[in-house]
Chain A
Amino acid sequence: MISLLGIYRPRRTLMHRAPVWFKMLLLVGMSITCVVVSDPVTSIGITAACLLLLASTLPPLKATLKGMGAIVVIAILTTLFQLWRGDWVRALDLAGDIVAIAALALAVSSSTSMGAMLDFVTALARPLRWLLPPETIGVMVSLTLRAIPEAAQILTESRVAARARGLERDPRAILIPTASRTVGFALDLGQALHARGIAEHGRAPRGGSAPASEARDDAPGRVLAEPPVREVPAPVEPAPSRRARRR
């Protein structure tokens, strides 16, 4: 599903040229229709229309098939469950709804640039400007989408690192580095936003944004004449698992 976050490709299709508000309205309207209407024939019709609409945006094939594959598996499982309950009408309706909404969402994603989406969210958030500047809300949405693949990558790397150390069965060996690195990534991203002057409304804390490598407790005190070179502290290792301790 993560590959779908970069599914947008600039094209000249009808969906690409349609305004963002129209596409979002279509998505919301169609989703409501799918939920309200429980007729299998209508559901199959809507599904076919949504799949055609998705195809019309000429999305990247591999990422689309991968993303839709996962959705189709969920739809099949749901259908099987409903068939097992003996409700074939509901089975067809539900499967159609799931595939239709997913296909339409993909059609919107593949035909809308993040910049256009950011403009839309910013415009939508304008009534909330007493709470937060609209630009900030728009950037928050972009950052959320940006953080998903990064967090997934950090998790994968932590899992590989844990496996390399023979700690793949210890969840702490995966979760602790994942959590600390994700926080580190968030801090770096915050610094980068600040440096680029994006959605800037506040002030940096006094001395509070020093790079992590230079804001350490192991730094020497006030006497700075000729002390030894500061050493990088050893990374905190997760505690050994019970099984490892027994060994």
Chain B
Amino acid sequence: MIEFKDAAVVAPDSGVPILEPTTLTLTEDRISIIGANGSGKSTLARLINGLVLPVTGSVEVDGLDTQRHGAQVRRKVGYLFTDASAQLIMPTAIEDVALSLRRLIKNRAERDEAAMSALREIGLAAKADVSVNALSGGQRQLLALAGVLACTPSIVVADEPTTLLDLRWRAHVGALLRSLPLQVIEVTHDLDSAARAERTLVVDLGRVVFDGDPKEAVGIYRDLMFGRASQGATA
């Protein structure tokens, strides 16, 4: 369970609010977050695994405060970035997954076996020894996901994981995320994907302006965006 208790974030230099005080309890297995670029949705997602810490209030994951127990929280919460390239560190696929497992498995042979098993589960076993630079965008995103899942988190936060992918990979990665037996929180611009969640948050200008039924949320988001677009056209 994820609990936001009046959690707020401001820009460190200017003091400009990025996320207004937010109180939420997230218990559903499939939650989507939608909003315009720069609206604060990624900040909301990053608060969950302590990549961003609230300036006021707190965020707790299964009772662990992200400020005081950041490392423990990150063991529970896997994070998937939009651009998987920045998430991949080692030269080959298997070595990258093995890097995630270093703190869990000390023996190298066992670690490599576990990494191979994670790649097999995600369908990348054939690419185990391939350079990460030689993988396609979709394969890189899958590899990043394998690195996250290898650490057996209980929650996966995915920040626009399909934005840079073509239609085929978008469908594949989306289906894979939906099939995970974990709590998945997806920040997305893909409204079809957002509508498949159990609950959707609409973030706008640093505030959660809607929290509830995904289809209703998508409608509100469209109104919000197109309403502004027509206002901009008439201005």
Chains A and B bind each other = yes
Assess whether B205 is in contact with A227, with CB atoms less than 8 Å apart: yes
Assess whether B37 is in contact with A215, with CB atoms less than 8 Å apart: no
Assess whether A217 is in contact with B11, with CB atoms less than 8 Å apart: yes
Tell me the chain B residues, 51-66 only, with Cβ under 8 Å from chain A: 51-55
Provide the residues of chain B in CB contact with A113, threshold 8 Å.
Answer: 92, 95
Q: With A207-B12, A213-B37 given, is the CB distance from A185 to B91 under 8 Å?
A: no
Assess whether B131 is in contact with A203, with CB atoms less than 8 Å apart: no
Tell me the chain A residues, 206-221 only, with Cβ under 8 Å from chain B: 206-211, 213-217, 219-221
Q: With A114-B91, A191-B51, A207-B54 given, is the CB distance from A228 to B133 under 8 Å?
A: no
Assess whether B129 is in contact with A146, with CB atoms less than 8 Å apart: no
Q: With A6-B91, A222-B17 given, is the CB distance from A214 to B40 under 8 Å?
A: yes
Provide the residues of chain B in CB contact with A214, threshold 8 Å.
Answer: 18, 38-40, 42-43
Asked if B86 is at the interface (CB within 8 A of a chain A CB), the reply is: yes
Tell me the chain B residues, 126-180 only, with Cβ under 8 Å from chain A: 129, 131, 133-134, 147-148, 151
Contact partner, A188, options B74, B81, B112, Cβ 8 Å:
B81
Interface 1/0s, chain A 177-203, versus B by CB < 8 A?
000000001001101111111101001
Asked if A116 is at the interface (CB within 8 A of a chain B CB), the reply is: yes
Could you tell me the dominant secondary structure of chain B's interface residues? mixed
Query: Residues of A within 8 Å of B, CB-based: how many?
Result: 55
Q: Which residue of B lies closest to A186 (CB)?
A: B86
Asked if A168 is at the interface (CB within 8 A of a chain B CB), the reply is: no
Q: With A115-B95, A198-B99 given, is the CB distance from A228 to B228 under 8 Å?
A: yes
Provide the residues of chain A in CB contact with B18, threshold 8 Å.
Answer: 207, 210, 214-215, 219
Interface 1/0s, chain A 1-23, versus B by CB < 8 A?
00001101110000000000000
Provide the residues of chain B in CB contact with A132, threshold 8 Å.
Answer: none
Asked if B49 is at the interface (CB within 8 A of a chain A CB), the reply is: yes
A5 to B133, CA, bound (A): 11
Tell me the chain B residues, 85-120 only, with Cβ under 8 Å from chain A: 85-87, 89-92, 95, 98-100, 102-103, 108, 111-112
Provide the residues of chain A in CB contact with B205, threshold 8 Å.
Answer: 220, 224, 227, 230
Contact partner, A185, options B16, B86, B99, Cβ 8 Å:
B86
Nearest-neighbour CB distance to chain A for B105, whole angstroms, equals 11
Nearest-neighbour CB distance to chain B for A63, whole angstroms, equals 10
Provide the residues of chain B in CB contact with A118, threshold 8 Å.
Answer: 99, 102
Q: Which residue of A lies closest to B111 (CB)?
A: A115
Contact partner, B51, options A142, A209, A215, Cβ 8 Å:
A209
Asked if B79 is at the interface (CB within 8 A of a chain A CB), the reply is: yes
Q: Which residue of B lies closest to A200 (CB)?
A: B71
Interface 1/0s, chain A 121-159, versus B by CB < 8 A?
000000000000001000100110110011000000000
Q: Which of A8, A150, A224 has the most CB of B within 10 A?
A: A224
Asked if A205 is at the interface (CB within 8 A of a chain B CB), the reply is: yes
Nearest-neighbour CB distance to chain A for B233, whole angstroms, equals 12
Q: With A115-B99, A116-B108, A214-B42 given, is the CB distance from A8 to B91 under 8 Å?
A: yes
A115 to B206, CA, bound (A): 42
Assess whether A205 is in contact with B12, with CB atoms less than 8 Å apart: yes
Task: Give the 10 A-B CB pairs with smallest separation, nearest first.
Answer: A188-B86, A195-B79, A6-B131, A192-B87, A197-B74, A211-B42, A219-B16, A215-B11, A208-B12, A207-B9
Q: Interface of A with B (CB < 8 Å)?
A: 5-6, 8-10, 113-116, 118-119, 135, 139, 142-143, 145-146, 149-150, 185, 188-189, 191-198, 200, 203-211, 213-217, 219-222, 224, 227-230, 232
